[in-house]
Amino acid sequence: MNTDAGFWCVVPAAGRGSRFGADLPKQYMLVAGKPLIQWTLERLAAHPRIAGILVTLAQSDPCWDAMGLRLDKPLLRVNGGNQRADSVLAGLRGLPESVADGDFVLVHDAARPCIHPGDIDDLVERGLEAGGALLAAPLRDTLKRAAEDSRVQETESRDHRWRAMTPQFFRRGELQSALESAQRRGVAISDEAMAMEQAGFRPMLVEGREDNIKVTTPADLAIAEYLLQRE
């Protein structure tokens, strides 16, 4: 197992940012003086348990080369796919051969720049024990189910409901098979844990910091800027 050498991290960054609605993909928006993806990658690379990073980029990526990013850890790039799960699968396939099937890998969205080292420590520690884990946060808001006309149909219990975040932490081979199986069955997969669940695994929910936000809209970018400037 690769516990001493550290773990590779796959970073899907091939999205278009359609909900963000800017001219460039949101991962290249400037936040506190740097492209958002640079914050994410520098934070990952600074973590002692991360051995290397593989980013998946859109084939027509407009910005990566111009950014000229250098990290003090190995940094690989491959082309992503149409859906996030396709990009993650492409990333797993592109990892160096030194990453064995039984080795654990992290998957972390480029769009989560505020990842904190302590969360990675917790995820790795609990994930190694549990055979796979993800960062998540218990739901805090009251949950409403909407009817077709946007009126409340009912209020649902918040108990035992969590919001899944990244990083997620699984064995390379198991995750790759789980994603391939979902792809063959034509099931839309929204995160790694979902693919693992469908393959019969029971990923461990590890409570992470609420400020590990995903930048989806311009309002999120403003929050990320605030958080990153404070640190």
Beta bridge partners of 9: 53, 106
Q: How far is CA 122 from CA 8, 49, 110, 125, 151, in A?
A: 16, 11, 20, 5, 40
**With respect to ligand CTP, which residue has the nearer C-beta, 14 or 194?**
14
The residue range among 43-51, 77-85, 94-102, 132-140 that interacts with ligand CTP, by the rule CB under 6 A, is 77-85
Q: How far is C-alpha 84 from the chain's CA centre?
A: 10
99: partner contacted, choices ligand CTP, Mg ion, none (Cβ within 5-8 A by kind): none
Closer Cβ to Mg ion, 84 or 126, answer by number: 84
Q: Compose the 121-150 pattern: x for residues touching ligand CTP by CB under 6 A, - for all others.
A: ------------------------------
| CA 110 to mean position of chain CA atoms | 7
| CA-to-CA dists, residue 109 to 102, 164, 184, angstroms | 22, 12, 24
Choose, by CB under 6 A, the member of 8, 9, 10, 13 that binds ligand CTP.
13
105 binds, among Mg ion, ligand CTP, none (CB under 5 to 8 A by kind): none
d(CA 8, CA 94): 11
Any idea what DSSP says for residue 39? H
User: Cβ 15 to Mg ion, closest distance in Å?
Assistant: 5
- Residue 18 interacting with ligand CTP (CB under 6 A): yes
Binding piece for ligand CTP, criterion CB under 6 A, among 1-9, 13-21, 205-213, 219-227: 13-21
Q: By CB under 6 A, how many residues form the interface with ligand CTP?
A: 22
One of 82, 142, 150, 157 touching ligand CTP (CB under 6 A): 82
Radius of gyration of the chain (CA): 17
How many angstroms separate the most distant Cα atoms in the chain?
55
Six token digits for residue 229: 């400037």
Q: Is 55 in the site for ligand CTP (CB under 6 A)?
A: no
- According to CB under 5 A, which residues from 14 to 73 bind Mg ion? 15
Burial-class residue 32 by CB neighbours within 10 Å (0-12, 13-18, 19+): middle
Residues interacting with Mg ion, by CB under 5 A?
15
**Positions in the binding site for ligand CTP (CB under 6 A):** 12-20, 27, 56, 80-84, 87, 109-111, 214, 216
